[in-house]
Structure 1
Amino acid sequence: MPPVLRFAPSPNGPLHLGHAYSALLNFDMARASGGRLLLRIEDIDPTRCRPEFEAAIYEDLAWLGLAWEVPVRRQSEHLDEYRRAVERLAEQGLIYPSFESRAEIARLVAEREAHGVWPRDPDGAPLYPGNAKRLSAAERARLIDSGAPYSLRLDMTAAIARARDLSWHERGEGPNGKTGRIAAAPHAWGDVVLARKETPTSYHLSVVIDDALQGVTEVVRGEDLFHATSVHRLLQHLLGLAEPAYRHHRLIRDEAGLKLSKSTGATGLRELRASGMSAAELRRRIGLP
């Protein structure tokens, strides 16, 4: 069977050089191997994702010379599939609701750090510090019925007990040049959020479901997601999903050595195109033949 690759941007801002590198790398690998390239629009965040950004994604990718299969999968059209996955995890006793706001969580972390170091995940965010896992079923039901906002978290300890010695096959470089079979360490992420009251999924949950349903055989993405693969492998195991191979690539960075980001205003592809840059020149700039 030919390999299946995908490029999965979020329409929450303009694509930049980092997106171009990942998209072109996926396209080049699919073409060289006689494989398929899929495009997925990860638009589960209704407050940040906008139609004009999605339209710009198609324009930018076409300018780069990419071709992809249609129809394009849009996550916002598949929320019921994510809900069913959450229900399956809940039936296994692996999901619980937490009710603290972001401000309350920040306060709890500050209280704990006043007495020592509080653990953080590989992205630098503090692990969940609350006690929602210890709430009774009656108290959880009362809070939900009251209309209180909540997040649905994975009980990481219980989940790991069901899936020991997980690993994945890394074909890229990854941090510190790691390749081959990589041992997963999902415990480093604590009780991650898998869904919220207003959004029935999260990046971690939707990405593994989408990859499985679309038959993706090789996930090619930035090395900033290397450690998140531990969570993804755990969810794949718990939901009985196929395991793809992974290839984490280098990031395109700015002059200060920071990865390009929409949030920091990285120059968009449309601006580069308007300045007169050609797609071939862009390839050379990011180090692709």
Structure 2
Amino acid sequence: MIPNILTIAGSDPSGGAGIQADIKAISANGGYAMSVITALTAQNTRGVQAVSLCDTGLIAAQMASLRDDIRIDAIKIGMLGDAAIIETVAEGLAGLDCPVVLDPVMVAKGGDRLLAEAAVTALRGLLPRADLITPNLPEAADLLGCAEATTLEEMRDQAHALRALEPRAVLLKGGHLQGDQSPDLLVTEQEELRLDAPRIATRNTHGTGCTLSSALATWLGAGEPLPDATRRAKAYLSAAIAGADRLSVGAGHGPVHHFHAFQEDSQ
């Protein structure tokens, strides 16, 4: 059965990140995508020009509407914006029995902050509700209140420190490290798994975090064990990045190619 995957995140009108990227990634990985929008933005491949957070009452109504009618097999959470939205989403998750993947979106690719600094404490309070969190190194440092990791050993220490904040598992993404490989580290209560992929030379990396977390949620919703779901999602993202230069979208950090496999199959 095709899994129903709910993404709770902000909108990116350029289509590279946020809700738009989530829907593409969920669909490309075999899921049926649903969405609850938390924020509207004006952004393109060069940066974020404006952000308008959605009313918490409307966010709650969106979640309730879906819960009342549709089976939800997994949830991906992205941009939440402020503490009030975080609390609203936490209330909406109560009683739902499905995997929750939390991508702690804090800063856009161009450096624009997408989560108020005052809301970081509230976001830490949401971590125990997550089956998996997928921070990059700057986001991990923000959550832990420490300097960004610059080595694999520091990355490992921070992944375990994040686990101590009580999500069930942590996938710490090491794309900001230097080197030919892009290492990710999956840490659960039972195991530690390092996943490497060759670093791909491209500027088209807009929305990689959104894409990975959505693909992961889709495979978890389909019943895959976490290590297998992580491998599948990372392989999908690597291929989407490798195919990104076939697109011509904007003059800044362009999007990855979410539907690379479909276009390859049709040629």
- Scaled by the length of structure 2, the TM-score of the pair is 0.29
Q: Which has the larger radius of gyration?
A: 1
- Scaled by the length of structure 1, the TM-score of the pair is 0.27
Higher relative contact order, structure no. (Cα contacts within 8 Å, ≥ 6 residues apart): 1
Q: Which structure carries more strand by proportion?
A: 2
